[in-house]
Amino acid sequence: MRKFLIAGNWKMNGTIDETKTLLSGLLAGSYDDTKADMLVCPPYTSLETASNMLQDSKIAVGGQDMSVHQKGAYTAEISATMLLTVGASFVILGHSERRQYHAESDQLVNAKAKAAIDAILTPIICVGETLDQREAGQTEQIIGMQIDGTLEGFSADMIKKSVIAYEPVWAIGTGKTATPEMAQDVHKFIRERVAGIDKDAAESVQILYGGSVKPDNAKDLLSQPDIDGALVGGAALKADDFLKIINAV
Ligand code: 13P
């Protein structure tokens, strides 16, 4: 049985003070941690504060990106080791905003994911089609390419150490959500694609849905057989909403 993972991608939100307020709200709430794990991914500058505040809780901390390099002359980059030293255990990779604004390719995401696994960080590898691609009937072709590219050279064991997130670009921050059936179809397609590498790994890998997940649509999305959690943007910035989402599993 796959456990649910409810992850909050705070994006570029959360000064130290805002981080403390939001996390105090999450710590004051409750959820069934036998069913679902909670993860928060604040900006780099708030990671240490978050790790310190959450050290006695079950809530995990993750980064939103990392460098493919280990160290050196890469201005403004953050390495896997640096994330580990501030208490991160996950890292989001290949988010569509990184692909769109920083021209990240499947090949780069693949190399970053390998570096994350080597460092014992769990990569959350993001894939998703644009509205034009969906309307042109290319969703499976695009997602298939992204899965093949980002998981290139992965062993079964590496897949088991990873999380995949399906985030249709047209559903991110737009208030438009994929219907549970649309999301389930793509999640099933992803799992079948991963099964082409290894069947066991495909059964065990968590596939999260992201794109305007809110308290009122979480239950329907999370009840789909191949949806194992959520990668939440806007609604992760409100403790009550994020708690409602994890309590919808
Ligand atoms: P929203 O939940 O704000 O649509 O963002 C989704 C997302 O991009 C999470 O990574």
97 Cβ contact partners less than 8 Å away, ≥ 6 residues apart:
11, 172
Pocket test residue of 13, 177, 214, 232 for ligand 1, highest count of atoms within 8 A of CB: 232
Could you tell me if 49 and 69 are in contact, meaning their C-beta atoms sit under 8 angstroms apart?
no
Q: For residue 167, indicate whether it is catalytic.
A: yes
Q: Is the pLDDT of residue 175 over 90?
A: no
* Residue 60 in tokens: 């995990």
Q: Is 147 in the pocket of ligand 1 (CB under 6 A)?
A: no
DSSP 85-119: HTT--EEEES-HHHHHHH---HHHHHHHHHHHHHT
Interval 122-150: pLDDT, tens: 999 999 999 999 999 999 999 999 999 99
Count how many domains the chain has.
1
| Contact (CB, 8 A) for 218 and 230 | yes
Ligand 1 center–CA 73 separation, angstroms? 31
Range(s) of the domain holding residue 39: 4-246
- Name residues whose C-beta falls within 8 Å of residue 141's C-beta, 6 or more positions apart in sequence: none
| Integer Cα distance of 42 and 160 in angstroms | 24
Quick check: CB of 167 below 6 Å from ligand 1? yes
Count of beta carbons in the 10 Å neighbourhood of residue 249:
19
Q: What is the mean pLDDT of the chain?
A: 97
Is residue 48 part of the annotated active site? The answer reads no
Q: Side chain identity at 230, as an amino acid letter?
A: A
What does the pLDDT read at residue 162? 98
Residue 33 is given by DSSP the state T
pLDDT of residue 185: 98
In angstroms, rounded to a whole number, what is the distance separating the alpha carbons of residues 221 and 52?
Answer: 32
Q: How far apart are CA 136 and CA 231, in angstroms?
A: 26
User: Domain containing 141 — which CATH number?
Assistant: 3.20.20.70
Distance CA 220, CA 125 (A): 23
Residue 176 has pLDDT above 90, yes or no: no
Is a pLDDT exceeding 90 seen at residue 177? no
172 CB within 6 A, ligand 1: yes
With a pLDDT cut of 90, the percent of the chain lying above it is: 97
For 203-221, what is each residue's pLDDT tens digit? 999 999 999 999 999 999 9
pLDDT digits (tens, 9 = 90+) for 69-95: 999 999 999 999 999 999 999 999 999
Distance (Å) of CA 249 to CA 126, 138, 170, 171, 196: 21, 31, 24, 21, 29
> What's at 140, amino acid-wise?
E
Between the CA of 92 and the centroid of ligand 1 the distance, in Å, is: 12
CB 207 within 8 A of CB 226: yes
Say yes or no to pLDDT of 39 above 90: yes
With cut-offs at 50, 70 and 90, classify the pLDDT of residue 101: very high
Q: The pTM is what?
A: 0.98
